[in-house]
Structure 1
Amino acid sequence: MWQALTTGSLIAHAEKYHGDTDVVSVEGDGSLSRSSWREVGANARRIKSALDRLGVAAGARCATIAWNNRRHLELYFGIGSGGRVTHTMNPRLTPDQMIYILDHAADEVLFFDRSFLPVVAKLVPHLRSVRHFVLMGPRDAEAAGLITGLLFHDELLETGDPATEWPDLDETAPAALCYTSGTTGHPKGVQYSHRSLVLHSLGGNQPDGLAIAARDTVMPVVPMFHVNAWGVPYIAAAVGAKLVMPGPKLDGESLARLIEAEQVTLALGVPTIWMGLLAGLKSTGIKPVSLKRTVVGGSALPPSMLREFRETYGVDLIHAWGMTETSPLGTLNQLLQKHGTLEEGARHRLRECQGRPPWGVDLRLVDEAGHELPRDGKTQGELQIRGHWIVESYFGQEETALTLDGWFDTGDVATLDADGYLVIRDRSKDIIKSGGEWISTVELENIAIAHPQIANAAAIAARHLKWDERPVVLAVPVAGETPDEQDIRAFYEGKVAHWQVPDRVIFVEALPLGATGKVMKAKLRELYGDVLLPEG
């Protein structure tokens, strides 16, 4: 028997066989709401039906600007499984970046949480394609006064039919869309097909993968706008796991109390989240006895954090690696049978790397000429990837994103051992990764150089205890000028998102140049890479 691999099959399974399983959601006002997979499935069908009534065509992009909550989960399936494309937007971007992305995607509908109303109200006059704005909640008189023709999620549900059937879709049709920044130029869209999302859910959730089961209570702290919350909404539906959606309150104490109250067994997020959780556990005295595993990705895992979670709380941290272009699961750090005989220190050191690829993903290292390098755990090379859920081309671009022989170049420099264990050594394009979010050095440099008192500038990633990396700009003043550091940092406000503003601007007489005239950033990192550390 042949059936198309579609996301509608995932929510249909959860609705039919796990209908009583809880879906818990922290709302924007801090209140807790309880739903179930049965209700989420019915509301997703209502969303699909309501979009039909609005005349939103099949294949149309529908954007969301929202936290991790029940309504956002309903939209994931109501939009994508209904034959349209769920386009999650990062609310941390600047208004100009949001306008560019929404216009580039040609979104027809924009759903947004109440907390983003001021932002969306400012975007409205600049958006060319959006025909319907939907506030994710009940009717709100204040909001209605700010946006003409504003629709309301809860009222939209009432117009939809919970018995509507999911359409018979081509499994290669698009279901979701995310944009990635961090490369030069404008953000690029990565569009995921139904087939790739289902295969990602199956391949990424093997026993040596995320290993989410129906008996788990899963809390995705990684945002639903960050590569589909690493695929957790789809995987949780496939297995019928209880979901705990933390909403906007992501401080350590709030997360600690939520874990304890809902008996969370698995949580997923970037290292900065878990740093905050450790502080929250200490301040509240909470012992997370239910929590067995956390999956950590987005940036490198500090070894000290791994030890503290394991030794103090008995929680196993699982390192993972991926990117928007890889849907995102590329590797997960699960041990092999032979590692059971390793002495404890060696085993812990192995757990610090990014892990090995699950079925569905293949990795290789190449040199500058494209020749494959040995997987010996020592030889460094450019990391390339291919597989069932890896990007082929960027949204709206006809040319392929792959090499001539069909691999995607990640832009990372890494090592691989014979078992496929990956260690990311460097970023070949010098992109800064702060708290799991990319920051473009080219953009920071261009802004600095635009300042009338700056002649030249280079941005580097400096090590940071909390955020892993933060931007530092080395700036050469115009002859005769004596610029002020705070004035230069203030020059960035409004040009990039606030969290992308450099932590330091350091004035230097000249930048080190290589033989081709390019700035030697490796040298700058040697000199200034520790300036943000306590002893720096």
Structure 2
Amino acid sequence: MQGLMFDSQLLLHSLLWRTERLFAEKQIITRLGPGEYHRYTYRDFGKRARRLGDALRTLGVEPGDRVGTLAWNHWRHLEAYFGVPGIQGVLHTINLRLSPSQQKFTIDKAEDRFLLVDTDQLPGVAALFELGLSSVEAVVVLDDAVPAHDLPVPVHAYEDLLAVADEDAQFSEFDEKTASAMCFTSATTGDPKGVVYSHRAMVLQAMCLAMHDKLNMAERQIWLEVAPMFHCNGWNIPHTALLQGATLVLPGAHPTPGDYVDIIEDLGVTGMNAAVTIGTMIRDAVRSSDRERDLSTLDTLWLGGQAPSKAVMKWFRDTYDTEVMQGYGMTENSPQICFFALKSTLEDGSDDEIYSLRQTQGLPIPLLQIKVVDPVTGEEQPWDGESIGDFHVRSPFTASEYYRDERTKDSIVDGWLRTGDVGCIDPEGYVLLKDRSKDLIKSGGEWISTIDLENALMLHGGVAEATVVGISDEKWLERPLGVVVASDPALTAEDLRAHLLGEGFAKFWVPDEFLFVSEVPKTSVGKFDKKAIRGVVADDGVAGARERLLPS
């Protein structure tokens, strides 16, 4: 016997029906420059998204065609989030920070027919054409006019296309399993892997984020979307803000940490999501400012990509009463897997106990299942907070395979996605990420977690940034190497060793050597680039790496 329900499809543009009727006057705000902002309403946004869909159909976009973007976080890019999938196109958000060869790889793999690009990206696009882009037929510049360029294909101005398009053009209903967007992993190892999202997956993710009590993406929020819109669809915050009618703030092109501080002050931002490194940079921008800065409206700061340090969490709480929290996700999961929330039954814990919980990756989000698997036996491990293994997940928004990639067979195991992350789950269901499997250090037969060491190093008052990588060792096979940006020029390796021993680490966990650098190398999405550091050490040894990464 089947239920007697309408079979309405979960489509991204179905979110617009609610937004345009309930929150039509709420705003989308984009920073243009110091104190200068572009503002318009969700009502106008809906009209322009439909104009874009109509314009793209006129250009020749057909269902299933991929449309790539090379763009910053701004209102026109947001229109593509709905205008492209609304006509059954597939939006491919291309990572601006990938190397040209990797960008070309993703464009070729996706077979993008059209590119929507910001004006400042045109020189890079011209270089990509020189490398060879066989599938791209035309480029649309996300601006009022087409500047001088060297592109070998037709180039259109975005606003010219929208001016003659129909704002009443309708997005039809179709199968919710239709592809809506495509993202590629940031390629910390090997070529980027493509993930194809369905409309259903992205709507369900937005609904899961909307119902989260600590994120609290409600109509009253003024939310600053710092996470790049080219990375995991901006962590799905744009869709969730639109669904809930929250004021959405976008930082525009080339934002700096100082710009984020200005935006929060100018607009009274209440919530924000960004990489952990951005949170640290905002703190440092406030500390170094020549005047007092007021970020007291910022209630919620979601920092992702890696665990925020206790030091950063305490600074925001003590300075502005801002709650710093984190989640755990990946491109393959649309992207969220876990999100932190403090259970009411645990609220009476000590400050140290609660901070320890806050440094976990949180609880699995609704509709998602997670388990810990012993990598040798394949047996599921208990949720005891001690049994460590590989995380496997599945949900309606977890990728079932990579796009035309044989590496699928290494990642999909008996209907579960093997995440490549290692950790444990405590009896309350809090997920604790110990490391990426490739970043765990095995020294003399004993496992060392680089994440635990990094969190402890960041507690030292003289440390601004810190990461830990494994390097080859003749005796122990592998040893940890600390890479540190010091905020105190007098800081020494001996100070850090004493600090780690004082934090309770076994002596064999403590790095034998530390590299003091001006900046820790970072990946295209703001994570510490351990692969690059290991490469420098492998090429030049620790002494050579000290020279190459020495503070300028």
TM-score (norm 1): 0.81
The answer on whether the counterparts of 1:83 and 1:167 sit within 8 Å (CA) in structure 2 is: no
Q: Give me the whole-angstrom Cα distance separating, in 2, the residues matched to 1:329 and 1:313.
A: 27
Q: What is the aligned partner in structure 1 of residue 438 from structure 2?
A: 429
Is 1:505 the counterpart of 2:536? The answer is yes
Q: Give me the whole-angstrom Cα distance separating, in 1, the residues matched to 2:125 and 2:549.
A: 37
Q: What is the aligned partner in structure 1 of residue 70 from structure 2?
A: 65
Is 1:38 the counterpart of 2:71? The answer is no
| Aligned-residue offset at 1:124 | 2.1
Structure 1 residues 374 and 29, CA, compared in 2 at 3 Å: closer, same or farther? same
Q: Give me the whole-angstrom Cα distance separating, in 1, the residues matched to 2:135 and 2:272.
A: 37
Is 1:110 the counterpart of 2:125? The answer is no
The answer on whether the counterparts of 2:215 and 2:300 sit within 8 Å (CA) in structure 1 is: no
Alignment match of 1:372 (pick from 338, 363, 380): 380
| Aligned-residue offset at 1:343 | 1.6
Q: Give me the whole-angstrom Cα distance separating, in 2, the residues matched to 1:401 and 1:175.
A: 25
Name the amino acid aligned to 2:423: A
1:318-397 alignment, distance < 5 Å: 318-368=325-375, 369-397=377-405
Give the match's secondary structure for 2:347.
helix
Name the amino acid aligned to 1:135: V
The answer on whether the counterparts of 1:65 and 1:113 sit within 8 Å (CA) in structure 2 is: yes
Name the amino acid aligned to 1:151: H
Structure 1: runs of 5 or more not aligned: 435-440, 446-456, 467-497, 511-523
The answer on whether the counterparts of 2:193 and 2:405 sit within 8 Å (CA) in structure 1 is: no
1:209-220 alignment, distance < 5 Å: 210-220=215-225
| Aligned-residue offset at 1:170 | 0.5
The answer on whether the counterparts of 2:400 and 2:412 sit within 8 Å (CA) in structure 1 is: no
Q: Give me the whole-angstrom Cα distance separating, in 1, the residues matched to 2:16 and 2:480.
A: 44
Q: What is the aligned partner in structure 1 of residue 294 from structure 2?
A: 287
Give the match's secondary structure for 2:264.
helix
Q: What is the aligned partner in structure 1 of residue 493 from structure 2?
A: none
Q: What is the aligned partner in structure 2 of residue 133 from structure 1?
A: 139
| Aligned-residue offset at 1:378 | 1.2
The answer on whether the counterparts of 1:462 and 1:532 sit within 8 Å (CA) in structure 2 is: no
| Aligned-residue offset at 1:146 | 4.9
1:137-148 alignment, distance < 5 Å: 137-143=143-149, 146=151, 148=153
Bigger CA drift: 353-362 or 179-188? 179-188
1:518-533 alignment, distance < 5 Å: none
| Aligned-residue offset at 1:335 | 0.3
Alignment match of 1:94 (pick from 82, 94, 99): 99
Structure 1 residues 98 and 508, CA, compared in 2 at 3 Å: closer, same or farther? closer
Name the amino acid aligned to 1:505: V
| Aligned-residue offset at 1:27 | 3.5
Give the match's secondary structure for 2:317.
helix
- CA deviation profile, 1:376-434 (whole Å, cap 9, x unmatched): 11111111111111110111248666544211111111010122211111211239999
Is 1:185 the counterpart of 2:190? The answer is yes
The answer on whether the counterparts of 2:401 and 2:412 sit within 8 Å (CA) in structure 1 is: no
Structure 1 residues 344 and 529, CA, compared in 2 at 3 Å: closer, same or farther? farther
Q: Give me the whole-angstrom Cα distance separating, in 1, the residues matched to 2:204 and 2:281.
A: 33
Is 1:10 the counterpart of 2:2? The answer is no
Q: What is the aligned partner in structure 2 of residue 513 from structure 1?
A: none
Q: What is the aligned partner in structure 1 of residue 494 from structure 2?
A: none
| Aligned-residue offset at 1:56 | 1.1
| Aligned-residue offset at 1:210 | 2.7
**How many percent of aligned residue pairs carry the same amino acid?**
32
Q: Give me the whole-angstrom Cα distance separating, in 2, the residues matched to 1:315 and 1:10.
A: 30
- CA deviation profile, 1:176-201 (whole Å, cap 9, x unmatched): 10001335432110010000001101
Q: Give me the whole-angstrom Cα distance separating, in 2, the residues matched to 1:237 and 1:460.
A: 45
| Aligned-residue offset at 1:117 | 1.3
Is 1:225 the counterpart of 2:230? The answer is yes
Cα RMSD (Å): 3.5
Structure 1 residues 97 and 507, CA, compared in 2 at 3 Å: closer, same or farther? closer
Name the amino acid aligned to 2:432: V
Give the match's secondary structure for 2:418.
strand
Q: What is the aligned partner in structure 2 of residue 450 from structure 1?
A: none
Name the amino acid aligned to 2:415: G
Give the match's secondary structure for 1:64.
strand
| Aligned-residue offset at 1:530 | 11
Q: Give me the whole-angstrom Cα distance separating, in 2, the residues matched to 1:117 and 1:88.
A: 16
Q: What is the aligned partner in structure 2 of residue 485 from structure 1?
A: none
Q: What is the aligned partner in structure 2 of residue 413 from structure 1?
A: 422
Name the amino acid aligned to 2:213: D
TM-score (norm 2): 0.79
Q: Give me the whole-angstrom Cα distance separating, in 1, the residues matched to 2:537 and 2:100.
A: 28
Q: Give me the whole-angstrom Cα distance separating, in 1, the residues matched to 2:62 and 2:479.
A: 44
How many positions carry a matched residue from both structures? 473
Structure 1 residues 141 and 533, CA, compared in 2 at 3 Å: closer, same or farther? closer
| Aligned-residue offset at 1:361 | 1.2
The answer on whether the counterparts of 2:327 and 2:362 sit within 8 Å (CA) in structure 1 is: yes
The answer on whether the counterparts of 1:364 and 1:372 sit within 8 Å (CA) in structure 2 is: yes
| Aligned-residue offset at 1:29 | 9.5
Name the amino acid aligned to 1:227: C
Q: Give me the whole-angstrom Cα distance separating, in 1, the residues matched to 2:544 and 2:389.
A: 25
Structure 1 residues 239 and 326, CA, compared in 2 at 3 Å: closer, same or farther? same
| Aligned-residue offset at 1:308 | 0.4
Q: What is the aligned partner in structure 2 of residue 158 from structure 1?
A: 163
- CA deviation profile, 1:33-59 (whole Å, cap 9, x unmatched): 111111111111001001111111111
Alignment match of 2:308 (pick from 301, 314, 322): 301
The answer on whether the counterparts of 2:52 and 2:162 sit within 8 Å (CA) in structure 1 is: yes
| Aligned-residue offset at 1:207 | 3.1
1:250-289 alignment, distance < 5 Å: 250-282=255-287, 283=289, 284-289=291-296
Give the match's secondary structure for 2:126.
helix
Q: Give me the whole-angstrom Cα distance separating, in 1, the residues matched to 2:91 and 2:203.
A: 15
The answer on whether the counterparts of 2:304 and 2:327 sit within 8 Å (CA) in structure 1 is: yes
Q: What is the aligned partner in structure 2 of residue 479 from structure 1?
A: none
The answer on whether the counterparts of 2:34 and 2:259 sit within 8 Å (CA) in structure 1 is: no
- CA deviation profile, 1:201-239 (whole Å, cap 9, x unmatched): 112222336320011011110000110010011111111
Structure 1 residues 100 and 259, CA, compared in 2 at 3 Å: closer, same or farther? same
Name the amino acid aligned to 1:373: Q
